[in-house]
Amino acid sequence: MTKKEKVAFAIETLERLYPEIPIPLNHKDPYTLLIAVLMSAQSKDVRVNQITPLLFARASTPTEMVNLTVNEIRDIIRPVGLSPMKSKGIHGLSKILLKKYNGLVPQDFEALEKLPGVGHKTASVVMAQAFGVPAFPVDTHIQRLMFRWGFSDGKNVVQTERDAKRLFPKDKWNDLHLQIIWYGREYSPARGWKLDQDIITKTIGRKSVLNTYKKTNY
């Protein structure tokens, strides 16, 4: 297959498997999505989805959040990990949203990335999932699969994002980044990977990945 044919095969397979694409993190608006994504750093989405209802029952708006102390936020979100840093980020960005943006989440990459605790990936998720702006957030699943499929060398997330945006049509970015995440979880995990169930990698995967898999599992 040519690279173009491999990309087309990946897109067609993902669209067939995931015609309806669930959002991994539970939220009700851009603000609660922003908080959930911030909390998800180095934590599993399932854990975040267990804790956000507890936090949002106390505070689901910037005004309510700044009425909590950093320590109160930290105590609630402690199970997701990195709670000292995340609680300061949540409290700090909520104050800024009230002061500069009338309590609304800005629809702007640069403005989002200036908020405490918000990096490029978090901003990209919010822009894509809350506002429908084309973006391609790269998590560990996308990083792994872009390498396995031979679409990126996987040296860093910046390069992987650049390669993804170059290869995939812009109007499909927001769907594809979610479809790849779900595919990675279900069919091509880092651990317990079974190549016979991973139709995309089995069909288009880079030779070094396939050879390594065979040596390890046979």
Catalytic residues: 121, 139
Residues 181, 14 contacting (CB under 8 angstroms): no
Quick one: angle between helices 157-167 and 140-148, nearest 10? 60
User: How many angstroms from the chain centroid is the CA of residue 37?
Assistant: 8
Query: In angstroms, rounded to a whole number, what is the distance separating the alpha carbons of residues 204 and 145?
Result: 11
Residues in the chain: 218
CB count within 10 Å of CB 206 equals: 16
Query: In angstroms, rounded to a whole number, what is the distance separating the alpha carbons of residues 184 and 122?
Result: 19
